[in-house]
Amino acid sequence: MNENLPAPPIRVAVDAFGGDHAPREIVRGVLLYAELAVQGVVTPAQMILVGDVPGIERELHEALNGKPVPAEITTHPASQVVAMDAHPTEVLKKPDSSLMVATTLVKHGAADAVYSAGNTGAMLVSSIALLEKIAGIKRPPIAAFMPQQNGRRYVLVDAGANLQCKASYLLQFALLGSLYAEHVFGYHNPRVGLLSNGEEDGKGDELTKEAGVLLKEKAHEYGLNYVGNTEPHYAFAGSVDVLVCDGFAGNILLKAAEGMGEVAMRILKEGMVNADASAHAALSVAHARIAAGIDYVEAGSAPLLGVNGVSMIAHGRSNARAVMNGIRVTVDAAKSPYIQRVQEAFAKLAKAEAH
């Protein structure tokens, strides 16, 4: 095998009928990604649009206005759709839904990652059912990427998958988030903090106190650079690379940050109205920086950690730009060794516990 040959492009199975604006915005987002890949702005990828093929082809034809479909975009049939308001387990009754078929492509090795802006609960159910949990994982969490003053991002985990947790779950979340920060973001020896209302060990509810003790005890065994309790404002200031919590607290933190970001962006927009050219330019830059950190359109998608494959969950309201950014984040995760490193880490822990 010639090691000098370039790696084949990442293959992303895209749920073309998942999301409030599917399939129109999904198809346009995929086309936008392909266009930016040609320009060298994003990593080239093979994108497989999964769903009702005639419907997808109509959207492609309309968006391209007679131009040929880029070679990087293909279709794969699926006859069913999981509604945005359906109960999560409904997906199991629709094996030929666009979401299940897209996830199955990853399971069978025909795709490297699955992306969906559809029903979040159904995405969790389908990913766990088809890709299965990595051996040793108790509860797969969702990660979200939050902005910091230094321009970096920290990994918030869990951002909403598990509302009721045990301390042992948070220990696993810490390892999953730390490995993501290291192998996808490229952070060396990422600092892990535990979300709390104070830095002192005695602060927090019972879960936080119990998790803090466990994280201290297991930090060396799990290879964690654990820095202790962390208040949210310190995380945004750049004191940690990973912030661990249960999904209830994490989802509230995520939505509160999004809300404050929207307030800041609105204030900046209002300030631009009567600003002179130089001030308008400065405010525009600030607006773009806030949007890049908080706005779901710019953030793209969030990974479900702890399953045997890259599974990315996007906002239901995703428009074409959000889809493009979601695929960008998906490709970044899929081209990293993250899944393999998680498998290795938990296998090593299981072996150590067996002895």
Q: What's the pLDDT score for residue 2?
A: 54
> Band of the pLDDT at 1, cuts 50, 70, 90?
very low
Q: Which 8-state DSSP code applies to residue 9?
A: P
Q: What's the pLDDT score for residue 234?
A: 93
Query: Where are the chain's structural domains?
Result: 1-136+306-337+350-355, 138-300
Hey, is 178 helix, strand or coil? helix
User: Averaged over 127-136, what is the pLDDT?
Assistant: 97
Neighbours of 227 (CB within 10 A): 18
Chain-centre distance of CA 317, in angstroms?
Answer: 15
pLDDT tens, residue by residue, 254-271:
888 888 777 777 777 777
Long-range contact set of residues 106-110: C-beta below 8 Å, sequence gap at least 24 = 106/13, 106/130, 106/131, 106/309, 106/310, 106/311, 107/131, 107/309, 110/11, 110/13, 110/48
Nearest to 214 by CA among 247, 159, 166, 161: 166
Domain 1-136+306-337+350-355 and domain 138-300, same fold? Reply is no
Residue 319 has pLDDT above 60, yes or no: yes
Give dist(CA 227, CA 143) in Å, integer: 19
pTM over 0.85: yes
85 preceded by cis ω (within 30°)? no
Q: Sheet containing 242-244: give its strands across.
A: 143-147, 153-157, 242-244, 191-195, 225-230
CATH classification for the domain delimited by 138-300, as one of 3.10.105.10, 2.40.70.10, 3.10.560.10, 3.40.718.10: 3.40.718.10
Contacts of 271 (CB under 8 A, 6+ apart): 279, 283
Chain-centre distance of CA 146, in angstroms?
Answer: 11
Tokens of 276: 């002179």
Q: What's the pLDDT score for residue 307?
A: 97
> Band of the pLDDT at 344, cuts 50, 70, 90?
very high
Among the residues of the chain, which ranges form H helices?
Answer: 24-38, 53-64, 98-107, 120-130, 167-183, 206-222, 232-237, 247-273, 277-294, 296-299, 320-334, 338-354
Q: Name the residue with tokens 């020896």.
A: 189
pLDDT tens, residue by residue, 220-236:
999 999 999 999 999 99
CATH classification for the domain delimited by 1-136+306-337+350-355, as one of 3.40.50.10950, 3.30.1490.190, 3.40.50.620, 3.40.50.300: 3.40.50.10950
Residue 166 has pLDDT above 50, yes or no: yes
